[in-house]
Amino acid sequence: MTEPEYPGSNPTWMGTTATEDAGEWVIRGHKWFATGADGAAFAICMAVTDPDAPEPHARASMIVVPAGTPGYDVIGNLSVMGDRGGDWASHGEVAYHGARVPLANLLGPRGRGIVIAQQRLGPGRMHHCMRWIGVCERAFDIMCRHAATRQIAPGKPLGTRQIVQQWIAESRAEIHAARLIVLRAAWRIENEGLYAAREEISIIRLTVARTLQRVLDRAIQCLGGLGMTDDTPLAFWYAHERGARIHDGADEVHIDAIARRILKSHGMTRG
């Protein structure tokens, strides 16, 4: 979906187009942060197929583009925090130079690309939060083991320092809280449906991403110079998970959505 020329926080605004010609879609456009484009057998391209549709969410469709299609070009992997990654763990830049695929390659109904994406994004955010909590737990264990065993003086482990104890206590409390709100959101999705859980999904995406950043920062601070090296996974997570507060809707987008829903329930009309 994401294009370098347009803001990723507005999924209805994109420049990639797919037009019909002789029983085929002809796709032209430019994408980046195409996760896993490196080595993929096919791409799923979000393109504007109905630019004149009155509803913005009905203008784009999803189209399957097999790798090797003439006009489909994986330019390369984006360097994210100094690492281009590879295979599934990468974010590609992709160009469509008049790539042609059969009309049957349409994924779902025409004009429903944004709707399909939104149906995936809600559970996708849930998946991210579950993974981030796992990263938090591993970082927390690394921090605690280091605090318990690292000697700062004979017979005096690092964990005797009050500030380190504060990092540990706050991290434990925040991870527990994050896990509970994710479980609540999952319960609402299962019992009330995805639409009813929209507010909870925004809340967990915002809260767990920020919890992740704080826990990783404390763990690195606790380990000192060791935390900056690749002898532990902390530095890798710190670099690669900073995007947690940007992708699948930046923090600010979710803050706006949460606040608007709450204020609407208290009688505020949108100006």
Task: Tell me how many helices (H) and strands (E) the chain has.
Answer: 6, 9
Q: Tell if the pTM clears 0.85, that is, is over it.
A: yes
Summarised one tens digit per residue, pLDDT across range 234-268 is 999 999 999 999 988 899 999 999 999 999 999 99
Strands 60-66, 42-48: pairing kind: antiparallel
Summarize the confidence of residues 187-216 as an average pLDDT.
94
Q: Give residues with Cβ within 8 angstroms of 167, minimum separation 6.
A: 143, 218, 221, 222
Summarised one tens digit per residue, pLDDT across range 7-44 is 877 888 999 999 999 999 999 999 999 999 999 999 99
Q: Is 176 helix (H, G, I), strand (E, B) or coil?
A: helix
Q: For residue 27, give the nearest of 8, 46, 6 by alpha carbon.
A: 46
The pLDDT value given to residue 92 = 96
Contact between 37 and 43 (Cβ < 8 Å): yes
Q: Which class would CATH give 116-265? A: mainly alpha
Q: Is 190 helix (H, G, I), strand (E, B) or coil?
A: helix
Instruction: Please tell me the CATH superfamily of domain 17-111, with its number.
Output: Butyryl-CoA Dehydrogenase, subunit A, domain 2 (2.40.110.10)
Summarize the confidence of residues 213-221 as an average pLDDT.
98
The pLDDT value given to residue 271 = 54
CA distance 62 to 110: 8
- Kindly tell me if the per-residue pLDDT of 270 is higher than 80: no
Amino acid identity of residue 64, one-letter, is: V
- Kindly tell me if the per-residue pLDDT of 172 is higher than 60: yes
The pLDDT value given to residue 120 = 81
Residue 102 burial (CB count, 10 A): 11
The pLDDT value given to residue 121 = 80
The full set of domain ranges for the chain reads: 17-111, 116-265
State which H helix or E strand residue 30 sits in. Answer: strand 24-35
